């Protein structure tokens, strides 16, 4: 779709749903023809269960894309299966990098030690782009309070690089809203949260954080990198906040 048409469609969606709640935005996004065919991209991380639960209530057959980098914590893999079964999600798609790409570009599984950007591209960005082919957009769990370029984030965004839209139902939520929703709906927490992992990614690139640190201090510790690179805005990689 031409960029002008995409921007106009996203602008119209934001104007229409500006004062709606998260669940309302998600409901309309999943049914409004203007939003198109959508998939939920979920890391099954610390806060992911909120959107997964909303989808299970509204439309359990919504495609859910889970990126298995094959370097995730065992706890994440178990959590993904348990949450999917508990919520009755009907279309969970586990996506991985191709065996050919892995053997050619990271045969000894040490790419993350030499070049984290290339590792994320191989194991996350490229498989996700392939998985999203045929979709008009995707749903994320990003929130304004995560800061940086997300501070002014709308419910709907354009992704000019791909011609897709991005839906952020939780854009206006605060940390307390996430906790309250999980408690009120008795949703299971990721087991690593209680062990000091408020933000959870791949095992080699994630470490626990102390109470006085930023929640994402344990992601790519010691590097400037703070984002895996699957999010873009205005042609640039977004470097702050949760991935999905």
Q: Among this protein's residues, is 228 annotated catalytic?
A: yes
Identify any residues that bridge with 139 across adjacent strands, giving them in sequence order: 40, 167
d(CA 227, CA 154): 19
User: DSSP characters for 158-218?
Assistant: EETTTTEEEE-TTTT--HHHHHHHHHHTTPPPPTTGGGT-SS--BGGGB----TTS-TTTT
Of 119, 202, 205, 228, the catalytic one is 228
How far is the CA of 61 from the CAs of 50, 53, 56, 201, 203, in angstroms? Answer: 16, 12, 8, 26, 30
Give the Cα separation of 12 and 6 in Å (integer). 10
DSSP one-letter code for 223: S
Which residues have a catalytic role annotated?
228
């Amino acid at each position: 779709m031409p960029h002008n048409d995409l921007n106009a469609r996203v602008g119209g969606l934001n104007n229409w749903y500006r004062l709606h709640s998260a669940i309302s935005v998600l409901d309309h996004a999943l049914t409004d023809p203007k939003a198109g065919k959508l998939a939920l991209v979920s890391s099954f991380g610390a806060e992911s269960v909120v959107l997964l639960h909303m989808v299970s209530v509204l439309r359990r057959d919504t495609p859910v894309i889970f990126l298995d980098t094959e370097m995730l914590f065992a706890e994440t893999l178990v959590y993904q299966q348990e949450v999917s079964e508990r919520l009755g999600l009907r279309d969970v798609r586990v996506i991985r990098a191709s065996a050919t790409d892995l053997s050619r570009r990271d045969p000894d599984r040490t790419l993350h030690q030499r070049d984290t950007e290339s590792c994320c591209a191989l194991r996350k960005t490229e498989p996700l782009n392939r998985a999203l082919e045929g979709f008009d957009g995707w749903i994320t769990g990003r929130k304004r309070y995560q800061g940086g370029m997300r501070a002014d984030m709308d419910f709907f965004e354009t992704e000019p690089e791909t011609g897709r839209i991005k839906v952020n139902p939780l854009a206006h939520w605060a940390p307390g809203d996430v906790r309250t929703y999980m408690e009120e709906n008795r949703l299971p927490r990721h087991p690593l949260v209680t062990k000091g992992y408020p933000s959870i990614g791949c095992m080699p690139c994630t470490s626990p954080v102390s109470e006085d640190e930023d929640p994402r201090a344990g992601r790519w510790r010691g590097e400037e990198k703070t984002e895996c690179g699957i999010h873009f805005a205005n042609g640039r990689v977004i470097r702050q906040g949760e991935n999905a």
